[in-house]
């Protein structure tokens, strides 16, 4: 049995009305560790265990680390996760609940990642949060489930951080004869490494991550995600932190499900009736989830975002 579950696929009257399309939701927030990450991370952990790994090491601002910790507990393999200083207290608490060793290091994920790589021993497996073909193949199972449900979307909307979900969804579209379906890739201002790469014509590193959507906080998108932009129809959209946070609140009211700002960025396109959705009758929104933000934290961020600059 895989470590992830098959998540519900539902039509949302709320997002459909606001977005002027038939909005379908793939509810990855209901995965046991709280996000889609367990699909790819679970597949990678199982494979590295078969290859003889005796410890899993990862670097994560939250969700990938939680997925590794969950997988390690299920597989009886010890886990060490290096998180940046920006990781919330909630993220650290959840990691410890999964019995992971937590090391706090650096101002960004990139700095935490360098330390994580330096402590990987000969019998360890490094579980990258987004840049590994094993992850992408695992994330592609999301689209396998959509295809089995006989939904043929006209577009897929998802959030981009490091690009792992983007790579997995496109792989899934291709292997289910849906390669013609465009992807709308959403980021927040202050974390838009994919949009930055597209404008520059090549991947490059952001100077800083200034968005509250810390789950999107990779300074540089993975090379494969950028390569897909030359092979697949991808529309890059950037929304504000305030839009993402407002979407989190509205989604909680509408669907009784709390998601992180990184996921709220995706939902914001429907709630704001984005022009990026124009012309698409059936749109699949990947509700990627996120377990590391509380409603109190989201409301505190919203209050700060509402203050005049």
pLDDT of 276 strictly over 90 = yes
The predicted model gives 214-237 an average pLDDT of: 89
Element (H, E) at 71: helix 63-75
pLDDT at 217: 66
pLDDT of 101 strictly over 60 = yes
Q: State the span(s) of the chain assigned CATH 3.40.50.1100.
A: 9-36+134-306, 38-129
* Percentage, residues of the chain above pLDDT 70: 98
The average confidence (pLDDT) of the chain is 94
**CB contact at 8 A, 33 and 129:** no
**How far are the Cα atoms of 30, 78, 159, 289 from residue 26, in angstroms, in the given order?**
10, 31, 13, 10
Q: What is the pLDDT of residues 18-68, one digit of tens each?
A: 999 999 999 999 999 999 999 999 999 999 999 999 999 999 878 999 999
Distance in angstroms (rounded) separating the CA atoms of residues 260 and 272: 17
* pLDDT band (50, 70, 90) for residue 290: confident
Q: Is 206 helix (H, G, I), strand (E, B) or coil?
A: coil
Length of the chain: 309
* pLDDT band (50, 70, 90) for residue 88: confident
pLDDT at 213: 66
Look at the domain 38-129 and name its fold.
Rossmann fold (3.40.50)
pLDDT of 211 strictly over 80 = no
pLDDT at 102: 95
pLDDT at 17: 98
* pLDDT band (50, 70, 90) for residue 208: confident
Please, is 214 exposed, middle or buried when counting C-beta atoms within 10 Å of its C-beta (0-12, 13-18, 19+)? buried
The predicted model gives 244-267 an average pLDDT of: 96
Pairing outcome for strands 22-27 and 9-11:
antiparallel
User: What is the second-level CATH architecture of the domain 9-36+134-306?
Assistant: 3-Layer(aba) Sandwich (3.40)
pLDDT of 173 strictly over 90 = yes
């Amino acid at each position: 049995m895989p470590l992830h579950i098959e998540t519900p696929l539902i039509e949302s009257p709320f997002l459909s009305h606001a977005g002027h399309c038939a909005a379908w939701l793939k509810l990855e927030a209901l995965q046991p560790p709280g996000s889609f990450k367990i699909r790819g991370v679970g597949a990678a952990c199982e494979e590295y265990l078969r290859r003889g790994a005796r410890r899993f090491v990862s670097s994560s601002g939250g969700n990938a680390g939680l997925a590794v910790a969950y997988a390690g507990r299920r597989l009886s393999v010890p886990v060490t996760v290096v998180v940046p200083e920006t990781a919330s207290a909630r993220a650290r608490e959840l990691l410890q609940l999964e019995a992971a060793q937590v090391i706090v290091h650096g101002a960004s994920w990139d700095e935490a990642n360098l330390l994580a790589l330096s402590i990987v021993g000969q019998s360890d497996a490094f579980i990258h949060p987004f840049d590994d073909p094993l992850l992408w193949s695992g994330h592609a199972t999301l689209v396998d489930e959509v295809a089995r449900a006989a939904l043929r979307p006209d577009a897929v909307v998802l959030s981009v951080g490091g690009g792992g979900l983007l790579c997995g969804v496109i792989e899934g579209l291709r292997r289910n004869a849906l390669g013609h379906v465009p992807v709308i890739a959403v980021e927040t201002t202050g974390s838009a490494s994919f949009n930055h790469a597209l404008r520059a014509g090549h991947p490059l590193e952001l100077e800083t991550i200034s968005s509250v959507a810390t789950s999107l906080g990779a300074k540089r998108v993975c090379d494969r995600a950028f390569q897909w932009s030359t092979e697949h129809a991808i529309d890059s959209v950037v929304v504000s932190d305030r839009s993402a946070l407002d979407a989190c609140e509205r989604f909680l009211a509408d669907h009784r499900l709390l998601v992180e700002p990184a996921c709220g960025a995706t939902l914001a396109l429907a709630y704001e009736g984005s022009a990026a959705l124009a012309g698409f009758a059936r749109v699949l929104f990947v509700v990627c989830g996120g377990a590391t933000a509380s409603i109190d934290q989201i409301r505190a961020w919203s209050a700060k975002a509402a203050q005049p600059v």
